[in-house]
Amino acid sequence: MTALHLSNRDDLRGYLLTGPGSADALSAAGLPLPQAQLSAAASAEALVARTGSDEYMAFIGAGAQQPAHEWCFPRADSVLALKGEGWIALMAQVCQYDFRRMQPGDWLMTSVAGVNCWLYHEINGALLIGFDSGYDHYMNELFHTLVNELGGHTLNEGDAR
């Protein structure tokens, strides 16, 4: 059991690829390719989500190769990583998705605290929350407040399970 922990993932560079050839561009760059729409595939240095029939969002670390494509646009996402006991309790306060159903490897696009976000449940257990960097100040402040308030607390699931 680990304490609730929040960190910023500044190491990830984001790209949006769209149009014919975007899947090939990802493959050419050695990036993972998710098959189903609204799913994600991850490797040690990259996370790629398929957000449309030929639209992908790629987040890559320093060691990964940047995809090259005519319609490849850099994104400016901020990414928070939430990890530890009670993350579901925290998310239950800011998002109406039932996070008990979210399994490692799952990808989700939804509204968190009023901000459009993408969420990815990493295999190692951290929940990545990505959003427009314009909301960085708001989201960081909110999530740090929540982590402080909920430190050690769990979701009010009643008196018995």
Partner 1 sequence: MKYRLDPQPLEWIDRSESMSFDFEGQRFSGFKGDSLTSALLAGGQKLLGRSFKYHRPRSALSLANHDVNALFQSAEATNIRGDVTPVSEGLKLRACNVNGTLANDKDTYIGLLSRFLPVGFYYKAFHKPKKFFPFWERLIREKAGLGEISTQWSAIRQPKQYGFCDLLVIGAGASGMQAALTAADAGADVVLVDENPQIGGSLDYQLVNESDAASARRQLKQRIAEHPGIRVFTGHYACGWYTDHYVPLVGPEGIIKMRAGGVIMATGVMEQPAVFRNNDLPGVMLASGAQRLIARYAVKPGQRAVVLCGNDEGYRAALDMIEAGIEVAAVVDLEWLDKRGHWAEQVKAKGIPVLEQSAIYEAKGKDALKAVVVAPFDGRSCDSGQGKTIRCDLLLMSVGWAPAAQLLYQSGSKLGYDKKLQQILPRELSPGIHACGRLNGAFTLEQRLADGERAAKEAVAQLRGKTVETELTRFRDDRAHSHDWPIIGHPKGKNFVDYDEDLQLKDLINAAKEGFDNIELMKRFSTNGMGPSQGKHANMNGIRVLAEITRKTIDETGSTTARPMFHPVPVSALAGRRFRPERLTPMQAWHTANGAKMMEAGRWLRPEFYGAPAQREQAILQEVQAVRSGLGIIDVSTLGKIEVMGPDAGRLLDVVYTMKMSTIKQGMTRYALMVDDSGVIVDDGIVGRVTDDRFYVSATTSHADAAFRTLSLKIQELGLNVRLVNRTGSLAALNLAGPASRKLLSTLTDVDLSEESFPYLGMREGTLCGYPVRLIRVGFVGELGYEIHMPATAALEIWETLIKAGKPYGIRPFGVEAQRVLRLEKGHIIVGQDTDGLTNPFEANMAWAVPLKSKPWFTGKPSLALLQARCQRRLIGFRLPKGYNGELPKECHLIIENGEMAGRITSIAYSPALGRVIGLAMVDLPLAESASALEVRVDSGAMVTLEPCPTPFYDADGARQTADLTEVA
Binding of residue 71 to partner 1 (CB under 8 A): yes
CA distance 45 to 12: 9
Query: What is the size of the binding site for partner 1 (CB under 8 A)?
Result: 38
Residue list 9-68, contact with partner 1 (CB under 8 A) = 16, 18-19, 54-55
CB atoms within 10 A of CB 124: 8
Closer of 81 and 97 to partner 1 (Cβ): 97
Residue 12 burial (10 A CB sphere; 0-12, 13-18, 19+): buried
Shortest spacing between CB 124 and partner 1, in angstroms: 25
Per DSSP, the three-state class of 82 is strand
Question: Which range of residues in 1-9, 38-46, 60-68, 72-80 is near partner 1 by CB under 8 A?
Answer: 72-80
Residue list 120-149, contact with partner 1 (CB under 8 A) = 132-138, 142, 149
CB atoms within 10 A of CB 89: 17
